[in-house]
A and B are shown apart, each in its own frame.
Chain A
Amino acid sequence: MHEMSLCEGVIQLIEQQASEQHFIKVTTVWLEIGALAGVEIEAMRFSFDAIARDTIADAAKLEVIHIQGRAVCPICKHQTQVSARFDICPECGHYPLDILAGEEMRIKELEVQ
Chain B
Amino acid sequence: MCTTCGCAEGDTTIEGHTHDHAHDHGHAHDHSHHHDNALMATHAAGISPSRILKIEQDILSKNNAYADDNKDYFKTHGMLALNLVSSPGSGKTTLLTRTLNDLKSEFSQSVIEGDQQTVLDAERIRATGVKAIQINTGKGCHLDADMVGHALESLEPEDDSLLFIENVGNLVCPASFDLGEAHKVVILSVTEGEDKPLKYPDMFHAAGLMLLNKTDLLPYLQFDVDQCIAYAQRVNPGMTILQVSATTGEGMQEWYQWLRDLHQSIQTDKQQHATAKQDA
Any B CB within 8 A of the CB of A67: no
CB–CB B57/A107 < 8 A = yes
Chain B at the A interface: SS class: loop
Residues of B182-205 at the interface with A, using a CB-CB cut-off of 8 Å, are 198, 201-202, 205
CB–CB B50/A27 < 8 A = yes
Which chain B residue has the least Cβ–Cβ distance from A85?
Answer: B201
Which chain A residue has the least Cβ–Cβ distance from B238?
Answer: A96
CB–CB B53/A109 < 8 A = yes
Tell whether A2 pairs with B172 under 8 Å between CB atoms, given A86-B201, A113-B49, A113-B50. Answer: yes
CB–CB A13/B52 < 8 A = no
Q: How many chain B residues touch A (Cβ–Cβ < 8 Å)?
A: 43
Any A CB within 8 A of the CB of B176: yes
> Bound state CA distance, A106 and B53, in angstroms?
14
Q: How many chain A residues touch B (Cβ–Cβ < 8 Å)?
A: 36
CB–CB B53/A13 < 8 A = no
CB–CB A109/B52 < 8 A = yes
- Cβ-neighbour of A5 out of B47, B142, B198 (below 8 A): B142
> Bound state CA distance, A8 and B146, in angstroms?
13
Q: For A37, what are the chain B residues with a Cβ–Cβ distance below 8 Å?
A: 176
Of B59-67, B91-99, B103-111, the one touching chain A: B59-67
CB–CB A110/B53 < 8 A = yes
Any A CB within 8 A of the CB of B277: no
CB–CB B59/A6 < 8 A = yes
A-B CB proximity, top 5 nearest: A2-B173, A113-B48, A107-B55, A105-B59, A110-B53
Any A CB within 8 A of the CB of B88: no
Give the A-binding residues of B (Cβ under 8 A): 1, 3, 8, 29, 31, 34, 38, 41, 47-63, 139-142, 144, 172-173, 175-177, 198, 201-202, 205, 234-237
Tell whether A109 pairs with B55 under 8 Å between CB atoms, given A1-B173, A4-B139, A13-B62. Answer: yes
Q: For B144, what are the chain A residues with a Cβ–Cβ distance below 8 Å?
A: 5
Any B CB within 8 A of the CB of A90: no
Q: For A21, what are the chain B residues with a Cβ–Cβ distance below 8 Å?
A: 34, 38, 53
Tell whether A10 pairs with B198 under 8 Å between CB atoms, given A4-B139, A109-B52. Answer: no
> Bound state CA distance, A84 and B50, in angstroms?
39
Q: For A112, what are the chain B residues with a Cβ–Cβ distance below 8 Å?
A: 50-53
Which chain A residue has the least Cβ–Cβ distance from B55?
Answer: A107
